[in-house]
Structure 1
Amino acid sequence: MHPMLQRLDDLAAHLATRADTVALLGLGSAGAQRGRLDDHSDLDFFLIVEDGATTRYATATDWLAVPCPVVYSFANERHGRKALYADGIFVEYAVFTVAEVHRVPFRGARVVWRRADAPPGLTESDAPVPRPPYDTVEYHLNEALTNLYVGLHRELRGEHLSAARFIQGHAVDRVIALLRLSEGEPPYRDAFDSSRRVERTYPPQVLPLAAMVPGYRGNVAAARAILDWLGDRFPIPAPIGTAIDGLLSS
């Protein structure tokens, strides 16, 4: 068994001895898609507890340290923490009651342990995954183009970091969405982060990330690469295409 999965099992064995715990859910590569797990994965999980126990488990780490000492941790949200074990396993977790967990958007959870009287359906969220207003070629194409336009204006103003976020961040996210729509759903797609595993899904000749994400001083070159990529695959509306070309020549 992979050490991270063993760590979850060891945690589950300890939590099963506590009266105020209900279930332990593995998420991400420790969840339903364990084929994603490798030596560079972190360990994501939800701990489900009785009403009134959330704050105690979210602030204390004594229960977390039972399998191995915790050498570093901090509260990254009201319900959870990030922590590092002495053996190098990094964990990110949140603590919820049964009622609370159904209001959290998540997908792909796996029951590692549940109390015999735990309610069914703990791996199902009632909250929708955040999505853009439209998931269409027209939307993602035009979002990418306007990201380039705004980003290039910020580049010309000297706001290189903001420009990089628009050009090498937001516009590239739209490129990835266009690939998903044109080539089908990639395996192990992360519903919350489109950048995950794209290098395994799309070869450089399909998604030339080195050209699209060259770095802080490469915004103009990145915008040109993205515009060329879009133009090779989709009809670009002349007004916005001409405007972007003008900025690239400035």
Structure 2
Amino acid sequence: MHPLLRRLDDLGAHLATRGDVLALLGLGSAGAEHDRLDDHSDLDFFVIVDDGAKPRYLASTDWLAAPCPVAYSFANDRNGRKARYADGVFVEYAVFTVDELRALPIAGARVVWRRADAPADLTSCGPAPAGPPFDTVEFHLNEALTNLYVGLHRELRGERLTASRFIQSYAVDRVIALLHLAAGPGHRRDPFDLSRRVEAAYPPEVLPLAEMVPGYADNRRAAAFTLAWLVDRYPVDPVIRAAIEQLLTDGPPPRR
């Protein structure tokens, strides 16, 4: 057993001795796809408690320290904390009641431990993760193009950081969404983060990230490359294409 899974099992064994805990759920690489765990993984989990018990588990980390002393922690959310054990295991957790859990979009959860009277459907609670308003080529293509357009205007204004986010992050997310559409349903895609595991899914000749995400100082080069990538593969509207190319060459035209 991977040491991280053993840590989660040990935590579950301790929580089983407390009468106000219903279940421990592993998430992410500690969830249903736990064979993805490696030396760079952390532990993501939910602690499901009885009504009225949540404040105690948020206020104290004594239960968390049962398997190993906690060296560092802070509240990163109103429902939980991030923490690092003394032996280097990093965790992120949240505490919920069953009713709260049912309202959450969760995917790939695994029951590490559950009390005998806990609901049997804990890992199927909640709606599906919210996606884009339209999961179509037209939407993702034009979102990418307008991200490039807005980002180049911000670059020309001197707002390089926000420009880099529009050009090298938001637009690239739409490129990944286009590739996902073309490829169809994919194994182990993260429903919450398009960027996860894309290097394993698409080789550099398909998704040339080094050119699309060259860094803070290279927004114009990144925009030019991503525009060319889109033009080569999709029917880009000539109006928005010309506007982006104008920004790449001469800057914005004078206002009339």
TM-score (ref. length: structure 2): 0.96
2:81 corresponds to 1:81: yes
How far apart are residue 58 of structure 1 and its match?
Answer: 1.6
* Number of the residue aligned with 2:254: none
Partner of 1:221, secondary structure, is helix
- 1:49 maps to 49
Question: What CA deviation, in whole Å up to 9, does each residue of 1:153-203 have, x standing for no partner?
Answer: 000010000100100010000000000001223321000000001111111
> How far apart are 1:38 and its partner, in Å?
1.0
Which residue identity lines up with residue 145 of structure 1 in the other structure? Answer: L
**2:140 aligns to what SS in structure 1?**
helix
Number of the residue aligned with 2:183: 183
Q: Which residue of 1 aligns with 2:198?
A: 198
Counterpart code for 2:82: K
For 1:68 and 1:232, how far apart are their aligned partners in 2? Answer: 54
Contact 2:111 2:123 in 1 (8 A): yes
How far does residue 124 in structure 1 lie from its aligned partner after superposition?
A: 1.3
Match of 1:223 in 2: 223
Alpha carbons 1:55, 1:79 under 8 Å: kept: no
| 2:138 matched residue in structure 1 | 138
Q: Over aligned residue pairs, what C-alpha RMSD do you find?
A: 0.8
Tell me the distance in 2 between the aligned counterparts of 1:159 and 1:242. 22
Q: In structure 1, what is the Cα distance between the partners aligned to 2:213 and 2:126?
A: 36
Tell me, in whole angstroms, the C-alpha distance in 1 between the residues paired with 2:149 and 2:86: 47
Structure 2 stretches lacking a partner, 5+ long: 251-256
Which residue number corresponds to residue 67 of structure 2? 67
Q: For 1:7-46, what aligned pairs fall within 5 Å after superposition?
A: 7-46=7-46
One-letter code of the match for 1:14?
H
**CA distance in 1: counterparts of 2:58 and 2:179, whole angstroms:** 39
- Indicate yes or no: 2:119 matched with 1:123: no
Tell me, yes or no, if the aligned pair for 2:106 and 2:126 is still in contact at 8 Å. Answer: no
Tell whether the 8 Å contact from 2:168 to 2:212 is kept in structure 1 after alignment: yes
| Match of residue 234 from structure 1 | 234
Contact kept in structure 2, 1:47 and 1:94, CA below 8 Å: yes
Q: CA deviation at 1:18?
A: 0.5
| CA shift digits 1:196-235 (9 cap, x unpaired) | 0111111110000000001111100000110111111101
Q: For residues 84 and 2 of structure 1, what CA distance do their matches in structure 2 show?
A: 18
Identity between Structure 1 and Structure 2 (%): 68
TM-score by length of 1: 0.98
How far apart in 2 are the matches of 1:122 and 1:193? 22
- Aligned counterparts of 1:171 and 1:2: Cα–Cα separation in 2: 37
1:105 & 1:210 partners in 2: Cα distance? 32
